[in-house]
Amino acid sequence: MVDIDLSQPPFSLLDESSKARVVKGVDLGYFDNQEIILEAGQSGEFVFIIHKGEVAELDNTMPGDQGRIGHYSAGDLFGAISIINGKSRYRFKAEQETLCYLLPKMLFEQLCQDSTAFAEFFRQSLANKTRLLIEQRSEGGMTMAGFMLARIADCMRPPLILGETATIAQAAAALDDSHADSALIQVAERFGMITKTDLLNALVLDERDKSSPVVDIAHFTLISAQPEDYLFQALVSMTRHKVSRVVVLENEQPSGVVELTDVLSYFSSRSYMVSLEVEQADDLEALAAASARMPELVQALMAQGVKLEFVMDLLAALNGRIVNKAFGFIVAPEHQGQSCLLVMGSEGRGEQILKTDQDNALILADGADWPECVSDMQQLTETLLKLGYPPCPGNIMVSNPEWVKSESGWRDTISHWIAKRDGASLMNLAIMLDAHAVAGDVTLLERLRLHLFEQCSRDELLLSYFARAALSFSTPLTLFGTLKKPEHGIDIKKGGIFPIVHGVRTLALEKRILPTSTLARLKALVEEGRLEKSFADDLGEALSLFSELRLKQQLTRLDGKQNSQEPNRVVVQTLSSLERDLLREALGIVKSFKQRLSYRFHLEY
């Protein structure tokens, strides 16, 4: 009579007989709206599993909305901590009419005794719970399905066709030019194939002449496939015939070649392919095509359960390469050495996932002679726009002369910002602090950053002003209570990501830490002894969790499933109960980090 979802943690950690005991051992309880289910200080007699309804967790020592600790809805479990600790720290109150399963204390304690995994679940730190979530997700095998359904047409590359008269030397040159591994030789109506290995064998082992025709060494028995065939069929025929490429025939004409490496990298989420495409791109169109593939890459990597940290690293590197290439196309080589292109904001920290706004700036070496700089930069901004980087709403772009300055000009600007200390200046400082050089002379930025540290890191008053921004958005834990309708959500960027990023940034400024990514800064702060390791780990995990939730939101928007106006809003009710649990804990960590900050930088008032 009990339909608890036992496939979700923690119950999925139990064996079958224990699950049966849970099903047999629970009672049903019904609580009216606003009824207090468990009073603070009361000893816990049950673990409550919500079947229907919503429950709020309240700290009644705090006034009004600040006392809201958590929010639970269908599928969530509460009261376990009260049993472990002996009594409840907080008050649990029904926010709707609520139907709960009640798991008696005795049974819960027995289950904990019998299954260490089950008991551990309630003592775990956030990091461990995240691991559970990732394990669960990667079991889904989404990419596997994606791979099974991919067609050959998605993966094939255009064929390189040589005439009957081509020589070995010509074939080698053609292969090298087009970065290909194999070519087709057309003899009347028939096609043969040569590969680099064939050429090598012909030259070295058979000692043929460079100018001998390539037709003699070509293979005319081709393994072929249709473009609408499934990709795995190609893989099967490659394995069966022990070859590493198949020719795609359309109406008896070759329309493409599928190589084994293509299939395998398609399977390994095509990260290799995208970076290869970026490197091979020799004009803007090719670069734009490669750049358009990135969201797809993110999706595939996420589905495979790759840790967000590494996905972000990979993407930061790829985005850096794209911007670098675009810079290289537009700016003449002699000017490249005289300047340094910076990406800033989340891109500078290497934390954007999908393409974010262009936040960039340019440092010119003192005495650089570059009269057409303004028009070049205008063109760079337009190019990046074409590559899919939307313009920055704050106009922090190289097309804005404010963000193109000589090195000494930048020094003056920074000193000016530091002296002025108003909102806009502090924001500019924060943006500058995250700058990361992607093209040109990197030492220009390094010198500028040292200057910035020199001016700021001992200025307690400035640090205190700087840190205050981290507290400027109230903690979304209080917002939980107003979630009456599913279309309300919490702003994950203001409530979660920003306080962590900015707080860590402030500490990095104080300790003169050079890396720009938040995770690297956290690591450096631990080494400096500024933060203890467990807390830094939890902060990092919390940040990854927020980014991941935000990414999910953005990806669904890409799919067009949702036309939400606000990409940063996460609707709590759509999350699974484990994710909700994680979100709650992560927000709790943000809260305690904010407390530390306000203590360190004297922000209490």
Interface residues toward another protein, by CB under 8 A: 1-3, 24-30, 32, 51-52, 97, 99, 102, 104
Distance in Å, CB of 24 to another protein, minimum:
6
d(C-alpha 121, C-alpha 88), whole Å? 18
What is the identity of the amino acid at 147? Answer: F
Q: Give 387's DSSP letter.
A: T
Residue closer to another protein, measured from CB, 33 or 395: 33
Q: How far is the CB of 421 from another protein (least distance, A)?
A: 57
User: HEC states along 299-359?
Assistant: HHHHHCCCCHHHHHHHHHHHHHHHHHHHHHHHCCHHHHCCEEEEECHHHHHCCCCCCCCCC
CB of 99 to another protein, least distance (A): 7
> How near is the Cβ of 29 to another protein at its closest, in Å?
5
User: In terms of DSSP bridges, do strands 161-162 and 98-104 run parallel, antiparallel, or are they unpaired?
Assistant: unpaired
Complex with another protein: residue 101 or 593, whichever CB lies closer: 101
CB of 22 to another protein, least distance (A): 10
Q: Where are the alpha helices (DSSP H) in 434-575?
A: 442-456, 460-468, 492, 498-511, 518-528, 533-558
CB of 101 to another protein, least distance (A): 8
Alpha-carbon distance of 69 to 90, in angstroms, equals 8
Cα radius of gyration rounded to whole Å, the chain: 30
SS3 for 360? strand
**Running DSSP on this structure, what letter comes out for residue 216?**
G
- The H or E element spanning position 162 is strand 161-162
Min. distance of Cβ 483 from another protein in angstroms?
Answer: 19
The Cα–Cα gap between 489 and 275 comes to 36
Q: How far is the CB of 107 from another protein (least distance, A)?
A: 8
Give the shortest CB-105-to-another protein separation in angstroms: 12
- Look at phi and psi of residue 434 and say left if phi exceeds 0, alpha if psi is from -120 to 50, else beta: alpha
Closer CB to another protein, residue 3 or residue 139?
Answer: 3
Q: How far is the CB of 53 from another protein (least distance, A)?
A: 9
User: Three-state SS for 51?
Assistant: strand
Question: Is the CB of 104 or the CB of 567 nearer to another protein?
Answer: 104
> Which is nearer to another protein, 2 or 132 (by Cβ)?
2
Euclidean distance between the first and the last CA atom of the chain, given in angstroms as a whole number: 55
Compute how many other C-beta atoms are within 10 angstroms of the C-beta atom of residue 242.
7
Closer to another protein by CB, 2 or 169: give it. 2
Are 364 and 339 in contact by the 8 Å Cβ rule? The answer is yes
Helix (H) / strand (E) element for 258: namely: strand 253-259
Nearest CB to another protein, comparing residues 14 and 448: 14
Comparison of 31 and 266: residue with beta carbon closer to another protein:
31
Smallest separation (angstroms) from another protein to the CB of 35: 8
H or E segment to which residue 570 belongs: strand 569-570
Kindly state the helix (H) or strand (E) to which residue 169 belongs, with its residue range.
helix 168-177
2 or 286, CB closer to another protein? 2
Closer CB to another protein, 27 or 285, in the complex: 27
For residues 102 and 354, which CB has a smaller minimum distance to another protein in the complex? 102
